[in-house]
Amino acid sequence: MCFDCKKTTRMENPLHLKSVNHISLVCRSVEKSIDFYQNVLGFFSIRRPGSFDFDGAWLFNYGIGIHLLKSEDPDNMPKITQINPKDNHISFQCESMAIVERKLRDMEIEYVKSRVEEGGIYVDQLFFHDPDGSMIEICNCDVLPVIPLAGDANIRSCSSINCNFQQQQQQQIPSAVQL
């Protein structure tokens, strides 16, 4: 395989990708993780193929799935470390940072708060762990414009109208999923 960018011409969408479908997370306890992703982040359970021969659960919201997989060796999973915003993490945008911060405090979830300034625009971030130590970020990152680098005009962004329409469609799914 050749990944040498100097020898290849850049294609807009070489694999014809449409979106991120899901994030898969290995967990110590599927039940504790379901509780966290439902009650803290607002995901809801969806049907998972019955042909799987391992414990897990599927959740969905905000146009993305979370696939929880029961660890085959929970005692040897990485230990939960201190909250470090530079660790790998999943980021979710929110409508109100103040509400999120208040709810995290009310739920007694430890978090780290950060603020980034770029050209007079402030991005607020809250970082915390799920029950297995996977890092979660909640932010108002949508205030920061997506600006293509010089010569890279192929970046497409989601307009507020388009994003809001997609979110409305996703919010209608839970009632349609009830069997």
Catalytic residue positions, numbered: 137
Q: How far apart are CA 38 and CA 27, in angstroms?
A: 15
Give me the residues paired with residue 30 across strands: none
Q: How far apart are CA 2 and CA 131, in angstroms?
A: 39
Q: How far apart are CA 122 and CA 99, in angstroms?
A: 17
Answer for the pair 25, 67: CB distance below 8 angstroms, yes or no.
Answer: yes
Q: How many CB atoms lie within 10 A of CB 97?
A: 17
